[in-house]
């Protein structure tokens, strides 16, 4: 009879097979997303950019000199940075109060408002462009502002599109922040504003930096918005890449500009990453029910004067104005969709059941296509993005491993900052018999959801990560000490605390996929157009019927998005306290 | 307790969405896509504006046993550039929608191979043959022209402009809107009209004059016609717009008999759209049959209603409203396709530098 003495260890003993499974899990968690990104992003972009630098089998970098000696190039770089910075700064300034009102307060219609501000995010830019310009044009309802064709018009449209990005990313963390730290500061005599500035704001900083970097990338790669509202005099790196590639087929110039874009984007990601990691630390997270207050105009009975009620009112006022401004073009859209050559009516909506004479599908079929594709894209994005967020949320002890984790984080943000034209054309060049496989992925229906997932992954990561990172590591340690297996720790700590963020992320990814009209529009999509593609085709045709159908289809897209986002919000609150 | 419940709920949702992805609910799961490259399929690569009336492509399948798969990678410029980049492994068998401003590039790059159709309409198509090549066959044509809002000019008791020169006159100051030549294909066509009219030496001066006379440049046709133009859907402020010779019939008011807008036929540039068999096509015979089909009476008669262009076949009849209100220009401005291919980039850059700044 032998007795084995357990050696004293500080960690809970894991059976060898268990440890192997853990190692295998983390290896997969890193390898699967990396393989996905390498095949469906890095490789196509490399092929496309490479084509611009390799001439007759030789590396030719003379394009850099040609492009950089043009004054126009520098103006374009400056305009890109200026537009994106302005768009980001204003989105953050307006979005933080918005997050406060929509995620820290309870009031009737909150769910509808949260969904409403997300609508612009998915509307096709050509539709928003028309809706915006018809307000701003001379003689239009806002024509007296003389904003048509100005930088201010572009920036306000950028804010219109990206307000929801800030509200959702910041709100997701804010509603879970334990209010007791702020309450303690208040009890010690800090004014509400000072408590916000010194306690809450630093806690929110990682989420704000996260949202700001997303917004910057969206603004820097905005394409249709810039062209429709400002025209080429406000051209950005993105519009220039589009022109050089699709109009001039000057792949050399396009490749140089793609590299410039990559440098700008990488620079922004580094700065944002620094801002995040300086501030990032474990936070006390609580059930939203604890943190949420009822929003009312009158000071609640029993609340002493100077207890932040004024702050709530100011935030509510600002948010009210923003929501009105966001609603104006949307209302304009709905009103115009109800105008028919015979006066007011639902004719444009009835026509959605037809092909409008010559579309390849009816608008309803296109809507169904969009939903099916979005379902695939969301599933892929959730798996890949979830794994990335999980890996990146860990803080390994070795410095090299920590750097690798940070690098991984930045890497998965790149798809948002690289031109859709480069990605789209890259797919065409690389997906015929990829890796010698006898398949032509270029015209495969698989490619569309994959291309959309590449763009949706960073949204999932940015929504889930702030919450995962805020989890106190001691929670995991406690759970492990109490004998939970590593997988059980993942399930009971990481997954359960980030559930609500995952719900947000699903809605976000779904919305992004529904509205995606970047890379997909360059894919040789087989006969299965999505709703944004059909809208684009309709609005380019003459006649009030086509135009009316395009507007009605846009309203359908907006309603569809609102319903799905609202459902996801509901889904994530099921059973977790019920703050509804 | 609540926690466990929500966990189960999310697990169920994830499981359900995965199941949905793998089954017919999603795009990946369903497999009703016709397989490409087979003998029973012919793949048509075309631009975003392609469309035929319901059932027309089915009649082709009935006659030939070939299923048509339509692939639409973008606008006309994007289309040609994608074909150039993928010519070693073409995206399909037949291309339709290359216009005369991109025709020479497609031919020079060897994207299309020669085919001479023997259907009757091919004789009509031959007048638009490009650079002595028989790789591209004209399918339809149309004019890009300045359009005016009759109602606006009547209300303001101002005589309508007639020629390109008129647009630079002081009485028409701040009245004209055109789409951007760099980002829109009708915009490019109008730039070509001015080059045809004033020559390579004179067109920039003309644009300078237009600009001095308050020209507005919109991003695309939609933007110009639906937002800035007073006679379009949006009721904008400008009564002179660049559009098509086929636009006026669409402005006949409900219950009215005459359109409220008209095209100025002395300001037009002719756009011709071609089809061609792609070099290296998997199914070249199918591609030839499909090209013949595009020249058939049925398709030619359908083109005005479905694609807003004029059939190239003289046998096809125009819709009644087109016959009355949308005649083609008798003497449109012309620029040879080879010149366009050589100079397009330079012209656009000079135009951009002059007009956009």
**Cβ atoms of A461 and A392 closer than 8 Å:** yes
Question: Is pLDDT of B115 > 50?
Answer: yes
* DSSP helix, strand, coil percent of chain B (3-state; round to 5): 45, 15, 40
Residue of A nearest to B341 (CA): A248
Residues on chain A touching B86 (C-beta within 8 angstroms) = 428-429, 432, 442
ipTM above 0.90?
Answer: no
Q: Report how far residue A384's alpha carbon sits from residue B216's, in angstroms, rounded to the nearest whole number.
A: 47
pLDDT at A393: 87
pLDDT at B32: 45
Name the 3-class secondary structure at A293: strand
Q: Report how far residue A340's alpha carbon sits from residue A329's, in angstroms, rounded to the nearest whole number.
A: 19
Residue of A nearest to B251 (CA): A543
**Contact flag A524-B183 (C-beta cutoff 8 Å):** no
Q: Report how far residue A362's alpha carbon sits from residue A154's, in angstroms, rounded to the nearest whole number.
A: 33
Write out residues 528-547 of A within 8 Å (CB-CB) of B: 528-529, 533, 536-537, 539-544, 547
Residue A324 has which token pair?
A: 């009105």
Report the candidate in A448, A561, A446 with the shortest Cα–Cα distance to residue A509. Answer: A561
pLDDT, one tens digit for every residue, chain A (580 residues): 444 444 444 444 445 567 888 888 889 999 999 999 999 999 999 999 998 898 777 888 888 888 888 888 899 999 999 999 999 999 999 999 999 999 888 888 888 888 888 888 777 777 787 778 888 888 788 888 888 888 999 999 999 999 998 998 888 888 878 888 888 888 898 888 888 889 889 889 888 988 899 899 999 988 878 888 877 788 899 889 988 888 888 889 999 999 999 999 888 888 877 777 766 667 777 766 666 777 777 776 766 666 677 888 899 999 999 999 999 888 988 988 998 877 888 989 998 988 876 777 889 999 998 999 999 999 999 999 999 999 988 878 888 888 888 888 888 989 888 888 898 889 888 888 887 777 788 877 788 899 889 989 998 988 888 788 888 888 888 888 888 888 888 877 888 777 777 888 888 888 888 887 776 777 756 567 888 888 888 887 877 888 889 889 999 988 888 888 888 877 654 433 322 2
**Contact flag B28-A360 (C-beta cutoff 8 Å):** no
Residue A413 has which token pair?
A: 């943000």
Phi, psi torsion values for A345, nearest 5 degrees: 175, 175
Which of B33, B84, B308 is nearest residue A541 as measured by Cβ atoms? Answer: B308
- DSSP result, A417-437: HS-HHHHHHHHHHH-BSGGG-
Q: How far is the CA of A361 from the CAs of A468, A529, B309, in angstroms?
A: 43, 8, 21
Residue of B nearest to A246 (CA): B78
Report the candidate in A157, A218, A118, A207 with the shortest Cα–Cα distance to residue A508. Answer: A118
Residue A114 has which token pair?
A: 């949260």
**Contact flag B45-A527 (C-beta cutoff 8 Å):** no
- Name the superfamily (CATH) of residues B143-269+329-356: Periplasmic binding protein-like II (3.40.190.10)
In sequence order, the 6+-apart residues with CB closer than 8 A to the CB of A194 are A185
Percent of chain B residues past pLDDT 70, beyond the cut: 89
**Cβ atoms of A413 and A481 closer than 8 Å:** no
Q: How far is the CA of A152 from the CAs of A156, A320, B258, B299, in angstroms?
A: 6, 21, 41, 47
Which of A130, A503, A575 is nearest residue B223 as measured by Cβ atoms? Answer: A130
Q: Classify the C-alpha dihedral A68-A69-A72-A74 as positive or negative.
A: positive
**Contact flag A526-B70 (C-beta cutoff 8 Å):** yes
pLDDT at A92: 96
Q: How confident is the model over B200-241, as pLDDT tens digits?
A: 999 999 999 999 999 999 988 988 998 899 988 778 899 999
pLDDT at A304: 66
Name the 3-class secondary structure at B37: coil
Would you give the DSSP letter of residue A13? Answer: P
Residues on chain B touching A539 (C-beta within 8 angstroms) = 222, 226
Q: How far is the CA of A394 from the CAs of A242, A458, B211, in angstroms?
A: 39, 17, 59
**Contact flag B227-A130 (C-beta cutoff 8 Å):** yes
Q: What is the Cα Rg of chain A in Å?
A: 25
Report the candidate in A441, A423, A426 with the shortest Cα–Cα distance to residue A516. Answer: A423
Q: Report how far residue A333's alpha carbon sits from residue A554's, in angstroms, rounded to the nearest whole number.
A: 8
A-to-B residue pairs, Cβ atoms closer than 8 angstroms: 216
Residues on chain A touching B13 (C-beta within 8 angstroms) = 571
Report the candidate in B242, B260, B140 with the shortest Cα–Cα distance to residue B192. Answer: B242
A479 min Cα distance to partner chain B (Å) = 16
pLDDT at B31: 45
Which of A425, A445, A542 is nearest residue B250 as measured by Cβ atoms? Answer: A542
pLDDT at A63: 82
Work out the widest C-alpha separation in chain A, in whole angstroms. 98
**Contact flag B27-A376 (C-beta cutoff 8 Å):** yes
B243 min Cα distance to partner chain A (Å) = 9
Percent of chain B residues past pLDDT 90, beyond the cut: 66
Which of A342, A359, A536 is nearest residue B51 as measured by Cβ atoms? Answer: A359
The CATH architecture of the domain made up of A66-235+279-299+309-336 is Orthogonal Bundle (1.10)
Residue of B nearest to A52 (CA): B85
Residues on chain B touching A234 (C-beta within 8 angstroms) = none
**Contact flag B10-A499 (C-beta cutoff 8 Å):** yes
C-alpha angle B243-A230-A519 in degrees, rounded to nearest 5: 85
Phi, psi torsion values for A518, nearest 5 degrees: -100, -100
Residue of A nearest to B234 (CA): A134
Phi, psi torsion values for B96, nearest 5 degrees: -130, 135
**Contact flag B86-A428 (C-beta cutoff 8 Å):** yes
Claim: this prediction has a pTM higher than 0.95: no
Whether A362 and chain B come into contact, CB under 8 Å, resolves to no
Query: Tell me: domain B7-141+272-323, CATH 3.40.190.10, correct?
Result: yes
Residues on chain A touching B226 (C-beta within 8 angstroms) = 130, 134, 539, 547
Which of B33, B250, B352 is nearest residue A445 as measured by Cβ atoms? Answer: B33
Q: How confident is the model over B248-302, as pLDDT tens digits?
A: 998 988 888 899 999 999 999 999 999 999 999 999 999 999 999 999 999 999 9
Q: Classify the C-alpha dihedral B100-B96-B225-B247 as positive or negative.
A: positive
Residue of B nearest to A227 (CA): B219
Q: Report how far residue B75's alpha carbon sits from residue B94's, in angstroms, rounded to the nearest whole number.
A: 16
pLDDT at B20: 55
Residue of A nearest to B87 (CA): A429
**Cβ atoms of A319 and A98 closer than 8 Å:** yes
Q: What is the Cα Rg of chain B in Å?
A: 24
**Contact flag A526-B244 (C-beta cutoff 8 Å):** no
**Cβ atoms of A62 and A427 closer than 8 Å:** no
Which of B25, B70, B225 is nearest residue A360 as measured by Cβ atoms? Answer: B70
Q: Report how far residue A284's alpha carbon sits from residue A286's, in angstroms, rounded to the nearest whole number.
A: 7
Least confident interval from A469-478, B4-13, B67-76: B4-13
pLDDT at A574: 41
Domain boundaries of chain B, sorted by first residue: 7-141+272-323, 143-269+329-356
**Contact flag A248-B246 (C-beta cutoff 8 Å):** no
Domain boundaries of chain A, sorted by first residue: 66-235+279-299+309-336
Whether A345 and chain B come into contact, CB under 8 Å, resolves to no
**Residues forming beta bridges with residue B277, ordered by sequence position:** B94, B113
- DSSP result, A124-172: -HHHHHHHHHHHHSTTSTTGGG--TTSHHHHHHHHHHHHHHHHHHHHHH
Q: Report how far residue A239's alpha carbon sits from residue B180's, in angstroms, rounded to the nearest whole number.
A: 13
**Contact flag A231-B89 (C-beta cutoff 8 Å):** no
Residues on chain B touching A372 (C-beta within 8 angstroms) = 25-27, 30
**Cβ atoms of B259 and A543 closer than 8 Å:** no
Q: How far is the CA of A516 from the CAs of A256, A520, B13, B333, in angstroms?
A: 26, 7, 23, 40
């Amino acid at each position: 009879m032998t007795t084995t003495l357990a050696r004293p260890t500080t960690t809970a003993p894991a059976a060898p097979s268990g440890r192997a499974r853990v190692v295998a899990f983390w290896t997969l968690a890193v390898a699967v997303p990396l393989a996905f990104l390498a095949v469906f992003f890095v490789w196509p972009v490399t092929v496309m950019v490479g084509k611009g630098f390799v001439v007759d089998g030789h590396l030719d970098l003379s394009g850099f000199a040609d492009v950089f000696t043009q004054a126009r190039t520098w103006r374009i770089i400056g305009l890109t940075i200026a537009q994106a910075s302005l768009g980001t700064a204003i989105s953050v300034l307006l979005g933080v109060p918005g997050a406060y009102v929509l995620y820290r307060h309870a009031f009737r219609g909150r769910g509808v408002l949260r969904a409403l501000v997300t609508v612009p995010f998915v509307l096709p830019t050509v539709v928003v462009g028309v809706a915006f310009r018809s307000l701003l044009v001379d003689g239009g309802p806002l024509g007296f502002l003389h904003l048509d064709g100005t930088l201010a018009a572009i920036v306000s449209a950028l804010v219109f599109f990206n307000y929801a990005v800030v509200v959702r990313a910041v709100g997701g963390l804010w509603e879970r922040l334990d209010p007791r730290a702020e309450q303690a500061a208040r009890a010690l005599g800090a004014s509400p504003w000072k408590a916000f500035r010194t306690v809450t704001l630093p806690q929110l900083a990682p989420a704000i930096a996260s949202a700001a970097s997303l917004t910057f990338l969206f603004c820097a790669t905005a394409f249709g918005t810039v062209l429709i509202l400002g025209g080429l005099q406000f051209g950005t790196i993105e519009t220039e890449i589009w022109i050089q590639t699709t109009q001039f087929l000057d792949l050399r110039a396009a490749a140089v500009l793609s590299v410039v874009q990559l440098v700008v984007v990488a620079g922004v990601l580094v700065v944002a990453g620094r801002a995040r990691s300086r501030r990032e630390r474990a936070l006390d997270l609580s059930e939203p029910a604890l943190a949420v207050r009822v929003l009312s105009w009158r000071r609640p009975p029993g609340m002493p004067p100077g207890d932040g009620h004024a702050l709530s009112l100011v935030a509510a006022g600002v948010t009210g104005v923003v929501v009105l401004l966001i609603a104006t073009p949307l209302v304009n859209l709905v009103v115009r969709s109800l105008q028919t050559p015979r006066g007011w009516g639902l004719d444009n909506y009835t026509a959605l059941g037809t092909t409008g004479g010559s579309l390849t599908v009816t608008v309803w079929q296109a809507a169904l296509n969009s939903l099916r594709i979005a379902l695939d894209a969301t599933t892929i994005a959730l798996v890949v993005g979830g794994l990335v967020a999980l890996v990146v949320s860990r803080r390994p002890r070795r410095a090299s491993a920590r750097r690798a984790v940070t690098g991984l984080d930045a890497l998965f943000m790149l798809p948002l900052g690289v031109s859709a034209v480069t990605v789209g054309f890259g797919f065409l060049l690389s997906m015929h018999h990829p890796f010698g496989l006898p398949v032509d992925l270029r015209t495969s229906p698989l490619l569309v959801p994959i291309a959309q997932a590449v763009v949706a992954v960073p949204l999932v990561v940015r929504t889930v990560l702030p919450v995962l990172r805020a989890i106190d590591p001691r929670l995991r340690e406690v759970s492990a000490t109490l004998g939970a297996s590593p997988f059980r720790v993942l399930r009971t700590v990481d997954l359960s605390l980030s559930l609500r963020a995952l719900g947000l992320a699903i809605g976000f990814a779904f919305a992004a996929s529904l509205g995606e009209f970047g890379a997909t529009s360059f894919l040789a999509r087989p006969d299965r157009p999505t709703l944004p593609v059909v809208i684009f085709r309709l609005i380019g045709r003459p006649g009030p019927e086509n135009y009316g159908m395009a507007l009605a289809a846009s309203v359908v897209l907006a309603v569809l998005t609102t319903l799905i986002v609202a459902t996801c919000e509901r889904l994530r609150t099921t059973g977790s306290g019920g703050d509804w | 307790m609540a926690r466990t419940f929500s966990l189960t709920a999310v697990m169920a949702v994830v499981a359900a969405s995965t199941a949905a992805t793998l089954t017919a609910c999603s795009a990946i799961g369903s497999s009703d896509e016709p397989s490409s490259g087979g003998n029973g399929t012919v793949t048509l690569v075309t631009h975003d504006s392609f469309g035929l009336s319901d059932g027309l492509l089915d009649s082709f399948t009935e006659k030939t046993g070939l299923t048509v798969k339509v692939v639409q990678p973008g606008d006309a410029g994007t289309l040609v550039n994608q074909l150039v980049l993928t010519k070693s492994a073409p995206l399909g068998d037949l291309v339709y929608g290359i216009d005369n401003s991109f025709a020479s590039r497609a031919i020079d790059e060897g994207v299309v191979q020669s085919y001479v159709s023997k259907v009757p309409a091919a004789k009509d198509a031959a007048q638009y043959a490009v650079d002595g090549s028989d790789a591209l066959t004209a399918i339809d044509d149309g004019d890009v022209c300045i359009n005016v809002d009759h109602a606006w000019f009547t209300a303001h008791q101002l005589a309508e402009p007639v020629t390109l020169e008129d647009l630079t006159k002081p009485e028409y100051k701040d009245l004209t809107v055109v789409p951007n030549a760099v980002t829109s294909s009708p915009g490019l066509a109008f730039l070509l009209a001015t080059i045809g009219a004033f020559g390579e030496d004179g067109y920039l001066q003309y644009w300078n004059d237009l600009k001095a006379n308050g020209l507005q440049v919109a991003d695309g046709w939609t933007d110009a016609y639906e937002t800035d133009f007073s006679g379009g859907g949006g009721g904008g402020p400008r009564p002179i717009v660049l559009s098509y010779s086929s636009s006026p019939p669409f402005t006949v008011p409900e219950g009215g008999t005459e359109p409220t807008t008209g095209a100025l036929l002395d300001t037009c540039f002719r756009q011709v759209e071609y089809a061609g068999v792609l070099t290296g096509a998997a199914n070249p015979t199918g591609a030839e049959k499909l090209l013949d089909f595009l020249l058939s009476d049925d398709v030619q008669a359908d083109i005005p209603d479905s694609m807003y262009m004029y059939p190239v076949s003289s046998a096809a009849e125009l819709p009644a409203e087109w016959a009355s209100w949308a005649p083609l220009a008798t003497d449109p401005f012309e620029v040879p396709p080879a010149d366009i291919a050589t100079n397009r980039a330079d012209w656009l850059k000079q135009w951009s530098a002059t007009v956009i700044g």
